[in-house]
Every structure is written in C-alpha cells, then in structure tokens.
Amino acid sequence: MGIVRFLDIAATSAAVAATSGRKAKIGLLAEALRRLDPGEIVAGAAFLAGELRQRQTGVGYAALRDRPEPATEPTLTVAAVDTAIAEISAVAGTGSQARRKQLLGALFSAATLAEQQLLIGLFSGELRQGAQAGLLAEAIASAAEIPTASVRRALLLSGDLKLVAAAALTGGAAALAEIHLRVGTPLSPMLASSAPDVAAAMLATGTPAAVDAKLDGIRIQVHRSGNDVAIFTRSLDDITARLPEVVAEVLALPLREAILDGEAMLLDESGRPRPFQETSSRAATRGRSTASRSGGASAVSGPGGSSAASRSGDVAATTPSSGASAASPSLGVAATTRSGSGSAASRSGGDANGLRPYFFDLLHLDGADLLDEPGRIRWAALADAVPPASIVDRVIAETEEQAAAAFAAALAGGQEGVVIKSPDAPYDVGRRGSAWVKVKPRHTLDLVVLAVERGHGRRQGWLSNLHLGARDPRTGGFVMLGKTFKGLTDELLRWQTERFRELAVADDGWVVTVRPEQVVEIAFDGVQTSPRYPGGVALRFARVLRYRDDKRASEADTIDAVKELGAGRPPSPA
C-alpha cells in the first residue's frame, strides 16, 4: 500500500462503469481498495461508491459548469482531494460564495480531465458507474479476504459503508465483529424491490404473504432509550429536531428501549393522507437544532446532523419502502382486527396538524436484537409493544385475490400502493431482494421534449437530461413539468443525442433548446404542486418508457390532464 493518486480512483471508476459483469466490477473495486493507505480508506471507499464523505458541500450544478481547464499532469492524491472537499464544505458566513468558488476552482485546476469528470459526478451525486452498496460490500470482503456475510452484517449495524471498509481492511473479521447494533446509531433500512402487479409480487415472496399499504409519507427509523428519542431518514440523516410531534408520540408509547421502522405523514381533517410534498416539506423545515426536547426528552446522540438533513433532496426524495395495510379505506393504518384500535385521525395527543408516525417493523426491544428473526416474530413483538393505533395494519393474504383487494383498498385510502412481504424473511441491510416487493399503479403521459442537457460523467458527450412539457390547449404552446434522465439506456441516449441535435434551435453550452416536436412516453408515480415550474405542478419520479414517433406534438397530453391527475381525478378526454 501507499499514497494513492486520485487519478487511479478515477480510472477505476471509469473501468467499473465500462464493465458489465458483476464479478469483474467487484475485482476492479477490490484491487483499488487494497491499494489504499489506512488513512485514505474512508475517503477512497466513498469515492469508489460514487459519494463524498462530506454530506453537504454547498456546491451546485451552476458551480460545476464554470470550471477551469484541466491539468496536464496528475498531482492529486485521495487524501488531498478529501481535504480540499472538507475545506469547501466548511465554508460559511460573509463572503462564503466567493471563497467556495475560489477553493473549487483551485481543486479543479489541479485535476486532469479524467479527475474533473469524477469530481463532477461526486459533487452532483450522479456518478452512475454501477457500484452500489451491495457491490462495494462484496469488494470490501474480497479485498480484506473475509466472508461477504460479515461485511453485510457490519454494514447493517453501522449504516456506514466507509467505516465498514476501514474496519475490514485494517482489522479484518475481528474488527467487524466489534460492530454491534446500538440504539441511537441508525441502520441501513431494508428496502423493497418492485413488481408490476400483486401476482408478480406474490410469486417473489411466496404465500402466505403480508400485504402492507404503502404509505405516502417519509420513511423514518426511530430510536428510543428511556426518555431519549432520535429519528433518522432513509438516508440516515438525523431529523429529530424537525419532528417534535413524532418525538412526543414515541415518548407516549409503552416502551423502554426500541428501534422502530415506519413512516411519518400528514393527514387532512378526514384522516386521509395529505400530498407527499406537504409531508416532505414539513419534515424539511421544522426545527433547526440537532437536539430535540419534547416533554423533557433529549435526542439520542447519533451520527449525522440536522444540517445534512436540510438538503432539499434528503427528505423530499425519501422513497418509502413499506407502509400500512388497506384495512381502513380512509387511511389504511387503523388496525381493524385488533381490539382497542382507532383511526389515526382520531387519536388524542400530539399536534393535530403535525406528522404522525406509523410503524411496520421492530428491530430491537429492551436489549434484544430482532434483526435475524423472521418477519412474523418481529411483527408479533411489535404488536405486543406498540398500541394498534400506531401500528401499520397488514393483511395476511393466502391468494392473489386477497392481495388484489388489499391493493385496491390502499389506493382508495389515498396511499401509494402496497408492499408484499414474506413472513419468513429476516430484516436485511439496504437490499432490494424478493422478501419485500412493492406494487404501485403506474401513470403514464405522452409529453413533448422542450430541451435537453448535456451529460457528464459516464454520459459525457451525450444529450441526457430531458426537459418535459405538456400541451397547453389555450395557447398552443407547452408548459414545462420538470426534468428526467431516468430510464435512458445507452441505445436511447445515442438515438436521442442524434435526434435532438437535428431539432436544436439554441445551445448555451449546457442546455440545448429544441423544437417542440418529439413526443416521449413518461411513467411517473404522481403529481405534486411546484412553484418552480410555470404550470404549478411537477411529476414525481418521472422516467422514460419510450419515444412515440407515432404521435405528433399536437396529440400530447395537456396540462389540464396533468392537473386533474394531481387532484386525484381521472383526466378528461383530450
């Protein structure tokens, strides 16, 4: 081992992106990890995962566009880049913008073209090289010559791939064995894969299966020890100070020590969920300190701070992996089969207009870890420890028809869909396996491409991010709804690059404006209000399905149809 050049990390990243085989990717990553000096492992592992060790840098897309010419010779090391980014992240106060720009310029001036491309991907969070956490876990195991299961277990308990890499590569299996579940330290949550319908989901999970309604809220992991409570997001950011009403409800539970997995959401006066955007906005703005006190309770100390959670993407982009059952048509969270249950809207205590927590899993209870227990054991313990009104109700389905009925009821209650779960599965680290499978209705619209942005990183040289517009029947023009680069294969990227060069009418070096002629079919999860776009609405999780050469722009869907979907009404015929 020795001091590793940042160029070597960039070369590995490019090689991983260009490699399709999983085994080959793991080999490339493992070799790069082996070369890291002990002091470089945390930063180096983060770079290889496409991340920065620093959660918030203050560097946006605009700052990445205006960059100096690349260096001709590589001089940067992993440690030097990490130090430079740490300095950029720490800039604050008067003159911070100019100082940050100066530091960023110095870093990019010292970087070669390949290094600049990696830096752009790291700062933007869009380094798509195919090195997900699961792949890195296997690479760490290979580099340290220890079982992959040991790495995955440590990753589950610590929630920090970088620290797991450092422990494995410096102390081996013995160091990983010292990593234990601790109340107050967030865990990487178990995730759900996707299926197009309940039949496909049940083929994956087997039967009988638990069917939970997928709440339209934010994923929360709640840690309680006595009167101390900490709340973490799906991305492990501490948002305790932002959810005082959730802290209050958790303190009212008959618990001493526990780690609960669930969701928080806003309800309207009838007990139905408010739009997801309102929930995420409330969670993103309530409170500013890292410690929350409600009824004399202080937040459990944990990694991460509220400053990281304040980024606009952290909470708003949180995608729930599970939720309540379909038992209640108004909400889907009231436990109708348990005595003493009541609707969430009628529960006493807490802020009537605040976020409400609903739990679907229990990972630790009064000194006992439940991670390795099958779902049915964890859920039974949850039912014994938490009042029914705070538990996500679930239906145990023996047949596809029963699961389909639960799915329909969840949608009728205003929820996103369902998550179908195997009762035999343990709680697994951040993996989208077949134990939990989510099913959501898929909305589609035929929209028109208004502009397209130049790609970077792996998409350098292609036109990538699409600006999407709906037709305005009153003006004959188009109203922008947002952007997406999701769902674009290499084949589509090549095709659209040629197509939009033909349609280009303006080019500012970053955004290419095109004639509004090309229709594209877009799938999305829902419509939300957005002051950012002229139509006042935007699409949630938009992704490209296909280009529609059989449709003219005059046949595209209208902004009125989009707004009707956002209001929960079927769109009127065009």
Distance of CA 143 to the CA centre of its chain: 28
Q: Residue 17: its pLDDT value, please?
A: 85
Q: Residue 149: its pLDDT value, please?
A: 87
Distances (CA, A) of 67 to 86, 110, 154, 256, 459: 19, 11, 39, 54, 18
What tokens appear for 265 in the block? 């959401």
- Residue 350's pLDDT band (cuts 50, 70, 90): very low
Q: Which of 326-335, 350-359, 450-459, 537-546 has the lowest mean pLDDT?
A: 326-335
pLDDT tens, position by position, 306-315: 333 332 333 3
Q: Is the pTM of this model over 0.75?
A: no
Asked if the model's pLDDT at residue 339 lies above 60, the reply is: no
Angle at 542 between CA 537 and CA 548, to 5 degrees: 105
Distance, in Å, from the CA atom of 46 to the CA atom of 54, rounded to the nearest integer, reads 9
Asked if the model's pLDDT at residue 323 lies above 50, the reply is: no
Query: CB–CB of 222/273 below 8 Å?
Result: no
Q: Residue 298: its pLDDT value, please?
A: 36
Which stretch, 57-66, 206-215, 424-433, has highest mean pLDDT? 206-215
Residue 181 or residue 383, greater confidence? 383
pLDDT tens, position by position, 119-162: 998 988 777 665 566 788 899 999 999 999 899 888 878 878 88
For the domain made up of 443-566, the CATH class stated in words is mainly beta
Give mean pLDDT, residues 55-75.
Answer: 87
- Residue 406's pLDDT band (cuts 50, 70, 90): very high
Q: Residue 112: its pLDDT value, please?
A: 96
Q: Residue 499: its pLDDT value, please?
A: 92
- Same topology, domains 6-177 and 193-439? Answer is no
Residues 6+ apart with CB under 8 A from 530: 277, 482, 536, 537, 538
Distance, in Å, from the CA atom of 185 to the CA atom of 479, rounded to the nearest integer, reads 45
Distances (CA, A) of 470 to 46, 290, 467, 475, 526: 39, 42, 10, 12, 15
In the chain, domain spans: 6-177, 193-439, 443-566
The proportion of the chain whose per-residue pLDDT surpasses 70, expressed as a percent, equals: 84
Asked if the model's pLDDT at residue 65 lies above 80, the reply is: yes
pLDDT tens, position by position, 281-313: 777 754 433 333 333 333 433 333 333 333 233
pLDDT tens, position by position, 494-542: 889 999 999 999 998 889 999 999 999 888 877 888 788 888 888 888 8
Average pLDDT, the chain: 82
Q: Residue 310: its pLDDT value, please?
A: 31
Residue 433 or residue 120, greater confidence? 120
Asked if the model's pLDDT at residue 326 lies above 60, the reply is: no
Give mean pLDDT, residues 16-36.
Answer: 91
Give mean pLDDT, residues 387-407.
Answer: 91
> Active site residue: 25, 162, 214, 421, which one?
214
Q: Which of 98-107, 193-202, 523-532 has the lowest mean pLDDT?
A: 523-532
Asked if the model's pLDDT at residue 324 lies above 50, the reply is: no
Asked if the model's pLDDT at residue 431 lies above 80, the reply is: no
Q: Residue 289: its pLDDT value, please?
A: 38
Task: Give 6-177's CATH code, choosing from 3.40.50.2300, 3.40.50.300, 3.20.20.80, 1.10.3260.10.
Answer: 1.10.3260.10
Architecture of domain 193-439: 2-Layer Sandwich (3.30)
The proportion of the chain whose per-residue pLDDT surpasses 90, expressed as a percent, equals: 44
563 is catalytic: no
- Residue 325's pLDDT band (cuts 50, 70, 90): very low
Distance, in Å, from the CA atom of 465 to the CA atom of 471, rounded to the nearest integer, reads 20
Q: Residue 336: its pLDDT value, please?
A: 31
